[in-house]
Amino acid sequence: MKRLIFIFLLIVQAAIILLVAFQYEWIKDNGKPIFLETKTPITTYHANNDVYVEYEINYLPAEIWEIDEELDYREKVFVVLAPDDTGVHRAVRVTKERPELRAEEVSLPATYSYVDSIKDEYRVDYGIEKISQVDPGKDKHRRWLITLKVAPWGQKAITEVAEL
Amino acid sequence: MKRQELEREGKEWVKEGIISEEQLNRILARKKETGPNYIIILFAVLLTGLGFLTFIMSEWARQAHLSRVVILLLVTLFFYILGDILHRKNNTLYGISFIVLGYIVFGSGLLLVIDIYQVTLFSAWPFIIWTAVGLVLFYLYQHPLLYFVLVVIGTIGQLYNGLSFSDFNWILFVVMVLGAGYFAFREELGLYYYLLAASFALQSIVLTMTVSEHYYWYLIPILILYLVGDALREQENAVVISYVTLISIFIYGMFQTLLLQDEWYSPQIPSFDTSFFIVWLFVFIFALYVKWRTERKEEMVDFVLFLPIVLLPQAHLFSIIVLFVFSLGWIFIGYRIQLPQRIMLGTVAFLFSTFNVYIQYAWDALNKSLFFFIGGVLLFLISFIFERQRRRLKKEGSDLR
């Protein structure tokens, strides 16, 4: 009996790790593509050709913030995005509960960071601000267009980084 | 000679008639008592495990490529299977070491794939899986090292959850308390109770900081832990739970003396918190009732630390007084029932209370060198008084006999 449990436990552990890896591959192939614009300048993260970017949608104006209660640092929120005329996705509203989406809309889970009361905007993080293995020749003083694939359950994968 | 060699050789000796089977067993038992290189192996496991944890930060590991995942998995499986084989061959210590290593590599691998594949976390769920796997492993092998590692990992997971998401992870908490608690209860090992109680006390800090608005809510979970320790009195080793609770609540008490003086925080404390008071009263009366029923009234002195001092006027003064009442109470009762452990703990508590007050009041007021001098003299005095007291009691004790 204990032998069986041991073998089963090994399989479960391997499955969990593989699941995370395969989920990523799946999202890359089948996720819904969205296009995000970054802010400038882009800062380099340690040696590794990693960069740290800030997206336009990291800063959300108070008009689209549909949450009344005061949030704790890193509490989860949902940011609803919709493409504008050029195809780039912009934030349209922010909710606390999982939002109902109209056509064209996508929602991204994010964590609340802080509120800037002077600019009247909210700062959130998506967990995709760090991009690894970026071609070092890219101009860090121009805006970039990041292509992202999103899974229905909210996880995402960066598939392309281009200069705008 | 190593135990294994001895075992091999010994069998030969038995065969040749040099020693009897029974003699061999006794020799082997002796070998076990002198203790193998337990500590060395422990450190070997910890260092190798730490090696893996830091390795996942390396450039090689951080490439999002399936080959990395496969290699990591193979290493995990290798450790687990090697450990299992060694364990079955009765080489328990090495077997467990490799299993623990496999366990650590699994967890670090899980954290690594989560990071390189950009899975955004909204709770400490990897730690829930990691802890749960540890519990199953403990069920299979029942070794203190496994217990230690899994409790540490679960606690770190809870602290991480608190720091990163300002949230308390109830699932992790329940998994730990029920799972690890069940094993501690079954094995009746002091070490397990000690680890789990310490973990509970730390997790309660996260709970207090994230769920409640004010620090004093910490009293409630710790009082409940105290009650659990009381309820487990039947098991001799469960007494460590009480010690852990009292140490936690004493540290809380010292911290409280600082908080109540804090210029920024203390005005924010409400003068009366009804909901807290009701919850507290409910648990406290229950605790008193239990103490009264089990007729251990002398232990009621423990409860002075659980009083909601913050609700009183002049709370700051009372917060210092309770520390002294508690430590003197323990020393006094310790002498009465002749329990040196109590006297020792009471004395340490008394020292801490004294220095807590001394540092708070004298640091600003006194010249620094004078501060240390007076502190030293104070210690000499305390030690002198205690020594005299001890001798007198010893003398009285021998007179009585």
What ipTM is given for this predicted complex?
Answer: 0.84
Helix, strand, coil abundance in chain B, percent, nearest 5:
80, 0, 20
* Residues A131 and A50 reside in one and the same domain: yes
* Residues A94 and A23 reside in one and the same domain: no
Sign, CA torsion B2/B5/B7/B11: negative
Given a contact cutoff of 8 angstroms between Cβ atoms, the answer to whether B169 and B158 are in contact is yes
The whole-number average pLDDT for the span A83-103 is 89
Helix, strand, coil abundance in chain A, percent, nearest 5:
20, 40, 40
What's the structural domain count of chain B? 1
Structure tokens at B47: 């260092």
Neighbours of B148 (CB within 10 A): 15
Q: What is the pLDDT of residues A26-57, one digit of tens each?
A: 998 998 899 999 887 777 666 667 788 889 99
Q: CA separation (Å) from B214 to A25, B151, B315?
A: 45, 27, 15
List of chain B residues whose C-beta atoms are within 8 Å of the C-beta of residue A12 = 133
Percent of chain A with pLDDT over 70: 97
* Residues A1 and A39 reside in one and the same domain: no
* Residues A25 and A40 reside in one and the same domain: no
pLDDT computed for residue B313 by the predictor: 82
Given a contact cutoff of 8 angstroms between Cβ atoms, the answer to whether B169 and B161 are in contact is yes
Backbone φ/ψ region at B338: left (φ over 0), alpha (ψ -120 to 50), beta: left
Q: Indicate which of B67, B110, B119, B129 best probes the interface with A, i.e. most A CBs within 10 Å of its own CB.
A: B119
Sign, CA torsion B375/B376/B379/B381: negative
Question: Of B62, B122, B137, which has the smallest distance from its Cβ to A109's Cβ?
Answer: B122
Cβ–Cβ gap B62/A132 under 8 Å: yes
Q: Indicate which of B73, B80, B120 best probes the interface with A, i.e. most A CBs within 10 Å of its own CB.
A: B120
What's the structural domain count of chain A? 2
pLDDT computed for residue A139 by the predictor: 78
Distance of CA B264 to the CA centre of its chain: 32
pLDDT computed for residue B211 by the predictor: 86
| 401 residues of chain B, pLDDT tens digit each | 566 777 777 788 888 877 777 777 777 766 654 455 777 887 888 888 888 878 877 767 777 677 888 888 999 999 999 999 999 998 888 899 999 999 999 999 899 888 888 888 888 999 999 999 999 999 999 989 899 999 999 999 999 999 888 889 999 999 999 999 999 999 888 899 999 999 999 999 999 998 888 889 999 999 999 999 888 888 888 888 988 999 999 999 998 888 888 778 878 888 788 889 999 999 999 988 888 887 777 788 888 889 888 888 888 888 888 999 998 888 888 877 777 778 888 888 988 888 888 888 777 777 777 878 888 888 888 888 878 877 776 776 666 55
Cβ–Cβ gap B76/A13 under 8 Å: yes
Selection from A13, A8, A126 nearest residue B107 by Cα? A13
Judged by a CB distance cut-off of 8 A, whether residue A159 touches chain B is: no
Question: Of B119, B164, B167, which has the smallest distance from its Cβ to A20's Cβ?
Answer: B119
Contacts of residue B79, defined as CB under 8 A and 6 or more positions apart, other chains included, come to B98, B99, B101, B102, B105
Cβ–Cβ gap B120/A9 under 8 Å: no
Q: Indicate which of A1, A3, A7, A10 best probes the interface with B, i.e. most B CBs within 10 Å of its own CB.
A: A10
For A28, nearest residue in chain B (alpha carbons) = B117
Q: Is residue B31 part of a domain?
A: yes
Q: Is residue B15 part of a domain?
A: yes
Given a contact cutoff of 8 angstroms between Cβ atoms, the answer to whether B2 and B37 are in contact is no
Q: Is residue B14 part of a domain?
A: yes
Cβ–Cβ gap A14/B63 under 8 Å: no
Which element (helix H / strand E) includes B341? Answer: helix B340-365
Cβ–Cβ gap B139/A6 under 8 Å: no
CB within 8 Å of chain B, chain A residues 101-130: 109, 111, 126-128
* Residues A80 and A56 reside in one and the same domain: yes
Cβ–Cβ gap A9/B136 under 8 Å: yes
* Residues A73 and A13 reside in one and the same domain: no
Cβ–Cβ gap A9/B133 under 8 Å: yes
* Residues A98 and A20 reside in one and the same domain: no
pLDDT computed for residue A74 by the predictor: 83
Judged by a CB distance cut-off of 8 A, whether residue B118 touches chain A is: yes
Q: Is residue B3 part of a domain?
A: yes
Q: Is residue B151 part of a domain?
A: no
Judged by a CB distance cut-off of 8 A, whether residue B299 touches chain A is: no
Side by side, the strands of the sheet bearing A156-163 are A32-37, A144-150, A156-163
List of chain B residues whose C-beta atoms are within 8 Å of the C-beta of residue A18 = 69, 73
pLDDT computed for residue B164 by the predictor: 85
Judged by a CB distance cut-off of 8 A, whether residue B50 touches chain A is: no
Judged by a CB distance cut-off of 8 A, whether residue B66 touches chain A is: yes
Selection from B140, B70, B320 nearest residue A1 by Cα? B140
Selection from A51, A55, A34 nearest residue A160 by Cα? A34
pLDDT computed for residue A9 by the predictor: 93
Cβ–Cβ gap A48/B139 under 8 Å: no
- Domain membership of residue A22 as a residue range: 1-30
Q: Is residue B386 part of a domain?
A: no
Selection from B95, B70, B67, B65 nearest residue B80 by Cα? B95
Q: How many CB pairs under 8 A join A and B?
A: 86
- Domain membership of residue B4 as a residue range: 1-35
Contacts of residue B86, defined as CB under 8 A and 6 or more positions apart, other chains included, come to B94, B95, B98
Given a contact cutoff of 8 angstroms between Cβ atoms, the answer to whether A32 and A106 are in contact is yes
Q: Is B230 helix (H, G, I), strand (E, B) or coil?
A: helix
pLDDT computed for residue B72 by the predictor: 87
Q: Is residue B372 part of a domain?
A: no
* Residues A115 and A151 reside in one and the same domain: yes
Cβ–Cβ gap B66/A48 under 8 Å: no
For A47, nearest residue in chain B (alpha carbons) = B59
Pairing label, strands A121-125, A59-61: antiparallel
Judged by a CB distance cut-off of 8 A, whether residue B114 touches chain A is: yes
Contacts of residue A130, defined as CB under 8 A and 6 or more positions apart, other chains included, come to A45, A50, A51, A52
B61/B68 Cα distance (integer angstroms): 6
Q: Is A131 helix (H, G, I), strand (E, B) or coil?
A: strand
Q: What is the pLDDT of residues A96-125, one digit of tens each?
A: 988 888 888 888 989 899 998 898 899 999
Q: Is residue B20 part of a domain?
A: yes
* Residues A18 and A96 reside in one and the same domain: no
* Residues A81 and A20 reside in one and the same domain: no
Judged by a CB distance cut-off of 8 A, whether residue B109 touches chain A is: yes
* Residues A18 and A55 reside in one and the same domain: no
For B135, nearest residue in chain A (alpha carbons) = A9
* Residues A41 and A55 reside in one and the same domain: yes
Structure tokens at B46: 């910890």
